[in-house]
Amino acid sequence: MLRNIPALLSPELLYALRAMGHGDDIVIADANFPAHRNGRQVIRLDGVSATDVLAAILQLMPLDTFVSEPALTMQVVGDGAAVPEVVGEFQRIVNEVADHPARLGSLERFAFYQQAREAFVIVQTGEQRLYGNIILKKGVIKP
């Protein structure tokens, strides 16, 4: 047991977070996301919401400050300007928990899949809300 680490973060996920370098991406994916088809490494957290996983990861991992959009969500197919409820929650969590607030960017569905293929790891959650997917770019720890 360790202190000050959210209990929902599995040993495999903690290892991946520690192994990631600056600029590496991590995908937090909903239950419908084709994680195993798009990911080199997939860690499953079935039964856990994407919003809870996001909040837990952001307690430990800094967001990249060298890019304008260190957090990206998937656009609604056919309505790229729509903001699903879960995406609004993602923004609130980034504002409240991240080491620095950042405006969420968004990608068209297939562009999101392409970026996910390049990610260090995909975390497949049990999130059932549609479009509950977010990509985070890891930043640096500042002294």
Select which of 15, 22, 36, 100 is catalytic.
Answer: 22
22 is a catalytic site residue:
yes
100 is a catalytic site residue:
no
113 is a catalytic site residue:
yes
Return the H-helix or E-strand segment holding 73: strand 71-74
The Cα–Cα gap between 128 and 36 comes to 17
The Cα–Cα gap between 16 and 11 comes to 9
The Cα–Cα gap between 29 and 34 comes to 9
Select which of 24, 25, 30, 64 is catalytic.
Answer: 64
Active site residues: 22, 64, 113
